[in-house]
């Protein structure tokens, strides 16, 4: 079955945007995923087709109306997770991406302005998802990032199936560094081990590089994953343990 994305937005022209090109665009043309946009404004009920109003209690900006957004959401059939892009959401990570990609698709609500009337979250089952601790002007670029990450995991989208498995985060570690020809560039050579043809040695080197890189740049990932990504033979190992001994 086709992985189906429905985007609720005030700017449907932003889709598929970059996802109409390259791998995602090819997969879209091949019907490996489908895209539908819903113009939120079509669900406005007043003469001015307004989707927002001034914040209760005062303050800057405008707030998206719960009634209009609920009507837009209710127009989309159930059966797929309904997400709302929000800086207050669950941080998007590869585990969530994998879970979404394995499902039937996603309905994604993109916010604009100052935010969304809180009552919408009480009245409708929406999963808020954040793409990071910074503020975008709208949910659309966040939805594009989420979709891109899901689409590349869909069956048949990436050429070599193995290239998705060794990457950053799949193992709980950042990825090892890559090199390609020329062998020497600006006086820098490709590490000799990579040209040795010794696959075991290369794998060990990459593993060690990945661990060193992660320790340096993202110690939080080591903290979070501990040894969970490498269960002991007994499967019973729970406690955190330094990984230097491998």
- Residue numbers of the site for ligand SAH (CB under 6 A)? 85-88, 110-112, 114-116, 130-132, 134-136, 138-139, 142
We find the least distance from the C-beta atom of residue 113 to ligand SAH, in angstroms, to be: 6
Q: Which is nearer to ligand SAH, 57 or 187 (CB)?
A: 57
Task: Give the list of residues 6+ apart from residue 108 with CB closer than 8 angstroms, or none.
Answer: 5, 6, 7, 8, 82, 83, 84, 85, 139, 143, 146, 147
* Nearer to ligand SAH (CB atom), residue 143 or residue 194: 143
Chain-centre distance for alpha carbon 16: 16
Query: C-beta of 155: minimal distance to ligand SAH in Å?
Result: 27
The distance of closest approach from Cβ of residue 129 to ligand SAH in the complex, given in angstroms and rounded to an integer, is 7
CB of 17 to ligand SAH, least distance (A): 16
Residue closer to ligand SAH, measured from CB, 25 or 55: 55
In degrees, rounded to 5, the angle at the alpha carbon of residue 127 between the alpha carbons of residues 6 and 40 is 40
Residue 199, number of CB atoms within 10 A of its CB: 8
Q: Which two tokens stand for residue 139?
A: 């949910």
Question: How far from the centroid of its chain's Cα atoms is residue 5's Cα?
Answer: 14
**Cβ 116 to ligand SAH shortest distance, Å:** 6
CB of 102 to ligand SAH, least distance (A): 22
Q: How far is CA 113 from the centre of its chain?
A: 22
Helix (H, G, I), strand (E, B) or coil at 189: strand
Cβ nearer to ligand SAH, comparing 37 with 130? 130
Residues pairing with 176 in the sheet: none
Closer to ligand SAH by Cβ: residue 132 or 156: 132
Q: Which is nearer to ligand SAH, 65 or 112 (CB)?
A: 112
Is the CB of 97 or the CB of 131 nearer to ligand SAH?
131
User: DSSP alpha helices (H): ranges in the chain?
Assistant: 22-29, 66-74, 94-102, 119-123, 140-151, 199-217, 219-225
Q: Which residue is nearest to ligand SAH (CB)?
A: 111
Where do we find the tokens 């709302």? 84
CA angle, 167 then 164 then 141, to 5°: 85
Q: How far is the CB of 92 from ligand SAH (least distance, A)?
A: 8
């Amino acid at each position: 079955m086709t992985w189906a994305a429905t985007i609720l937005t005030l700017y449907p022209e932003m889709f598929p945007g970059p996802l109409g090109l390259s791998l995602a665009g090819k997969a879209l043309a091949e019907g490996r995923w489908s895209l539908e946009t819903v113009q939120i404004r079509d669900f406005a009920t007043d003469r001015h087709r307004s989707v927002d109003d001034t914040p209760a209690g005062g303050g800057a900006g405008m707030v998206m109306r719960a009634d209009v957004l609920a009507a837009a959401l209710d127009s989309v059939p159930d059966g797929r997770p309904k997400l709302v892009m929000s800086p207050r959401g669950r941080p998007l990570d590869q585990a969530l991406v994998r879970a979404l990609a394995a499902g039937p698709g996603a309905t994604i609500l993109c916010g604009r302005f100052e935010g969304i009337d809180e009552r919408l979250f009480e009245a409708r089952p929406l999963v808020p998802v954040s793409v990071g601790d910074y503020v975008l002007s709208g949910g659309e670029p966040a939805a594009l990032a989420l979709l891109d990450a899901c689409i590349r995991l869909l069956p048949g989208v990436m050429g070599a199936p193995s290239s998705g498995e060794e990457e950053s985060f799949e193992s709980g570690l950042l990825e090892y560094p890559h090199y390609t020809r020329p062998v020497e560039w600006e006086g820098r050579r490709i590490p000799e081990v990579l040209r040795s043809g010794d696959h075991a040695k290369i794998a060990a080197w990459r593993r060690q590089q990945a661990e060193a890189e992660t320790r340096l740049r993202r110690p939080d990932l080591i903290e979070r994953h501990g040894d969970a990504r490498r269960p002991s033979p007994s499967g019973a190992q729970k406690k955190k343990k330094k990984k230097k001994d491998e």
